[in-house]
Chains A and B, each alone.
Chain A
Amino acid sequence: MVTATALEEELRRLAGSVLDPELPVLTLEDLGVLRAVHVRAEDSVEVELTPTYTGCPAVEAMSMDIERVLHEHGVREVSVVTVLSPAWSTDDISDEGRRKLREFGIAPPRGNRPAGPVSLDLGPTRTATDGPELEPVRCPSCGSAETELLSRFSSTACKALRRCLSCREPFDHFKEL
C-alpha cells in the first residue's frame, strides 16, 4: 500500500473541486466518483474516476474538466482512467452532497437500504406508497413526506420524477443505486 504524498493530496483536492457538469452544485468529491490521484512521474498524473451509471455521458466532460484544472496547476501530462470496480453507489454521496442536492431542489437518495428499485403497489394511474419499511422521500421544497412517484426515470437515468402531494410541486429524486 502506497500512501498518498502531500502533492497527491493537493492534486486530489483540486480534481475533487471540479463541479459535476449535470448537477453543478456538487463537486466530484461530494458525488464520490473520484477514486484516486497518482503521481506517475515528474509532471505526469493519473486520475481514477468511476461513473455513476455505466452509460453516464457526463464522464467525458468530467475528465476534460479534471485535465484542465490540473494543467492550470502546472501538471503537464494528465490521464483520466475510468474504473468500474467497486461499483459506485448513491451511498458514496457525502452528507455535504446530500445537503446541496436538497437545496438545489433534488431529493437526495435515502441511505442504509439495499440498492435497487423499491416494490410499489400499483394505483390506477400511478403509485403513491413506497412500502412500510422505508423512510419516505421528502419534498425538497416544503419538506412534506407525502409525495408520489410520477416516473421511474427523469431528466437523467440517476433520477426519478416525483410530485409533492402537499405543495403540488414536481421534483427530481436522486434514486438509490
Chain B
Amino acid sequence: MTLTVNTAAALALGDDALVLSHRLGEWAGHAPVLEEEVALANIALDLLGQARVLLSMAGDEDELAYLREERAFRNLQLVEQPNGDFAHTIARQLYFSTYQRLLYAHLASGDGEFAPLAAKAVKEVAYHQDHAEQWTLRLGDGTDESRARMNVAVQALWRFTGEMFQPLDGVDVDWDAMQTAWLESVGDVLRRATLTVPEGPRTGAWTAGAGRQGLHTESFGRMLAEMQHLHRSHPGASW
C-alpha cells in the first residue's frame, strides 16, 4: 500500500491516539479509586474521538483499527507500553500529553488539514496534561513509596521519549524547538515533584524508537490481539 504523505501523517497521529486510548481503557475496573477510573476512561474517550477523525482521514476507520497487522501500525512505542503500576501510567500520560499539547497547539495555529481537529483537541489535551501533572506532583512529593515508584516510572519510560521528535512527513513543525519546549516543560514538572530528571539517552543505540517505521515492542502484539479479536472473529457483526 502506497500512502500519500498526509495520509501517512494522519495514520501516525491516529494510531498514537487509538493505542493509548486502548491502554487507558484497560484500567476500567482496576483503577485505585473510582474518580480516577472515570478520569482515565474520559481521557481514553477523548483520544478515541481524535483517533476516529484521524483514521477516517487515512481510510476506513474500522478496517484500519481492526484489520491491520502489528507492523502496519505507526504509533510511537511510548503509547503501547503496558500500564504497569499507576505511576507508570501517569509518567506515560505526562510524557505523551505534553508532546501532544505542543504538537496540536502548533498544528492548530496553521491552516493545514489537521488544523480543525488540532484546534478542538488541544483544549481537551490541556486537561489531560493538567491531570498528569497534578498526579506527578502528588506522587513525587508524596510518600516514600509513591515517590520511589514515580522515580522508577519516569526513568523506565525516558528512553521512549526521543522517538516523539522524529520528523513526520506531512507535518510541518520545528521538531528541535518542540523537543526543547518538551524537555523544559517535563523537567519543570519533575523538579517541582522533587523527582530525579532522568539523564539516560533518548536517541541512538540502546533507546527505543521505531514505532513510526512499524517496529513495535513485545507487548503490543498481545494488546492488538485483545483489541481486534472480536471484530476478526465475527466479521461484520453489529448490534
Tell me the bound Cα distance from A55 to B127 in angstroms: 14
Q: Does B50 contact A (CB under 8 A)?
A: yes
Interfacial chain A residues near B39, Cβ < 8 Å: 151-153
Tell me the bound Cα distance from A154 to B45 in angstroms: 13
A87 to B50, Cβ gap below 8 A?
no
Given known A53-B49, A150-B35, contact A157–B123 (CB-CB < 8 A):
no
Q: Does B119 contact A (CB under 8 A)?
A: yes
Interface size on B, residues (CB 8 A): 30
Q: From residue B164, how far is it (CB to closest CB) to chain A in Å? A: 21
Q: From residue B211, how far is it (CB to closest CB) to chain A in Å? A: 23
Interfacial chain B residues near A3, Cβ < 8 Å: none
A120 to B134, Cβ gap below 8 A?
yes
Interfacial chain A residues near B116, Cβ < 8 Å: 84-85, 87
A55 to B119, Cβ gap below 8 A?
no
Interfacial chain A residues near B35, Cβ < 8 Å: 150-151, 153, 161
Q: Does B46 contact A (CB under 8 A)?
A: yes
Among A53, A89, A156, max chain B CB count under 10 A is at: A53
Within 8 A of A (CB), among B99-127: 115-117, 119-121, 123-124, 126-127
Q: C-beta contact mask, A52-67 vs B, less than 8 Å → 1, else 0?
A: 0111110000000000
Tell me the bound Cα distance from A164 to B237 in angstroms: 46
B126 to A54, Cβ gap below 8 A?
no
B134 to A54, Cβ gap below 8 A?
no
Q: Does A51 contact B (CB under 8 A)?
A: yes
Our count of residue pairs bridging A and B at CB distance below 8 angstroms stands at 85
Q: Does A115 contact B (CB under 8 A)?
A: yes
Q: Does B43 contact A (CB under 8 A)?
A: yes
Interfacial chain B residues near A56, Cβ < 8 Å: 49
Tell me the bound Cα distance from A156 to B182 in angstroms: 29
Q: Does A6 contact B (CB under 8 A)?
A: no
Q: Does B231 contact A (CB under 8 A)?
A: no
Q: Does A155 contact B (CB under 8 A)?
A: yes
Interfacial chain A residues near B43, Cβ < 8 Å: 153, 157
Q: C-beta contact mask, B182-206 vs A, less than 8 Å → 1, else 0?
A: 0000000000000000000000000
B138 to A55, Cβ gap below 8 A?
no
The 6 closest A-B pairs by CB, nearest first: A55-B49, A54-B49, A85-B116, A117-B130, A151-B35, A153-B39
5 pairs across A/B with beta carbons < 8 Å?
A86-B119, A88-B120, A117-B129, A122-B138, A156-B42
